[in-house]
Amino acid sequence: MDQTNPATTLSHQHVSFPDGLQLDCGFHLAPVDVAYRTYGTLSPARDNAILVCHALTGDQYVADPHPLTGKPGWWGRMVGPGLPIDTDRFFVICINVLGGCMGTTGPRSLRVNEDGTEEPWGTDFPAITIRDMVRAQHLLVAHMGIDRLLAVVGGSMGGMQVLEWCATYPEQVFAAMPIATSPFHSAQNIAFNEVSRQAIFADPQWHGGRYWECNEIPARGLAVARMMAHITYLSEAALTRKFGRRVRTTPGRGAAGGPGALFGEMFEVESYLRHQGSTFVRRFDANSYLTITRAMDYFDLGAEHDGDMSRPFQGTRTRFCIISFSSDWLFPTSQARLLARALNQVAANVSFVEIDSDKGHDAFLLDEPDFDRTIRGFLCGAAEHAGIG
């Protein structure tokens, strides 16, 4: 394994569960490490906990600097003292998902072979589902002595985890905020994920998924996968406003505004995507990317109920606030409405808000005052109804 990559040796706050857990695929994974971060103070009654679930390329560093990149937490504008998810009032937990690469057991974790040697799981890591991720999170929440979460909040793949929490542990979720998500992964989104996976497979440094044996990583393929995915997170309006058709000139290789050399100049949007790809490979593992995107593809709340998406929520007492964004074409408002209708069919306590925004899917990570007010208002209302001062 490449010990020059700090991601392979970095130590994260975690709890180890020797008994592990049974996966949906039938494999018993043990032991299981669950890495996490917490913010704020757990009340004596242990009733003020909010679980924030991260998206595909996120991790547990939601509100403090990332240990690899040094960048601020991915939702630092939302989680903190006095912010919409107020750590002066709530105890916030964020957990690296099962299959991830920031301390929770995943493809980069070591396993013991029959001969007693250790090596990373790699592509031998078992197939996991969103429900498996939630089961691993539940191990940690129970370990903390928390019987009921005040709220579970998450966007994109994080929203899938929110819904799975409500379906799998309905009595342990008082309020839920699935944001920019869907009760299933669409054919279009599965197609985008497959293109990203094929980019990784096509990289000469992929080595059948055992790239650590050659002290390499499939950096080009993983960067292209990130570039491909990042396009889907933005809207045309956002790309036009930020980049337009502006050209970035490489000195000595063509002038802006003219044809120049074939690769002498880059449109600013190209430069942006290349930067996104190159920085991503420094903090993420290719096998984790493959594992997690496949888990997203498997997600379909109605699959075990003859397509009926309401049945997983039958009898639920959880309070729901579903949020979508008008320009999100990855998880469009139409899919959020399907979820709202399913919850209405079982008489759930549900509100639905579409935020008018031209920022695309990533709007939930950006400055959107109406969104901030919605989160703050819903969580304060939930705390009031739960009897939390």
Q: Does 47 qualify as catalytic in the annotation?
A: no
pLDDT at 23: 98
Query: In angstroms, rounded to a whole number, what is the distance separating the alpha carbons of residues 54 and 66?
Result: 14
pLDDT, position 1: 40
- Report the C-alpha gap between 249 and 274 in whole angstroms: 15
Q: Is the pTM of this model over 0.85?
A: yes
pLDDT < 70 positions in the chain: 1-9, 249-265
Other beta carbons within 10 Å of 144:
16
Q: Tokens for 170?
A: 């309905």
At 385, which helix (H) or strand (E)?
helix 369-385
Measured CA angle at 345 (ends 339, 348), to 5 deg: 80
Q: Is 305 a catalytic residue?
A: no
287-316 confidence digits (pLDDT tens): 999 999 999 999 999 999 999 999 999 999
Which member of 33, 86, 203, 328 is catalytic? 328
What is the DSSP secondary structure assignment for residue 214, as one 8-state letter? G
pLDDT of residue 319: 98
Beta bridge partners of 339: none
DSSP letter for 388, please: -
Give the whole-angstrom CA distance, residue 227 versus residue 247: 18
- The answer to whether 362 is annotated as binding is yes
Domains (range + CATH), the chain: 6-186+300-385 (3.40.50.1820), 191-290 (1.10.1740.110)
Q: What is the DSSP letter of 209?
A: G
Q: What gap in Å lies between CA 243 and CA 288, rounded to an integer?
A: 31
- What's the pLDDT at 145? 98
Q: In the prediction, which pLDDT does 260 show?
A: 55
The per-residue pLDDT of the chain, averaged, comes to 93
**Is 370 within any annotated ligand binding site?**
no
- Active-site residue flag, 43: no
Tell the residue number behind the tokens 């998206």, with chain if given: 55
CA distances to 39, 142, 276, 351 from 102, in Å: 18, 21, 19, 34
pLDDT at 2: 41
DSSP 105: S
Q: At what angle do helices 219-233 and 268-280 cross, to 10 degrees?
A: 120
pLDDT in tens, 51-95: 999 999 999 999 999 999 999 999 999 999 999 999 999 999 999
Of 109, 156, 310, 357, the active-site residue reads 156
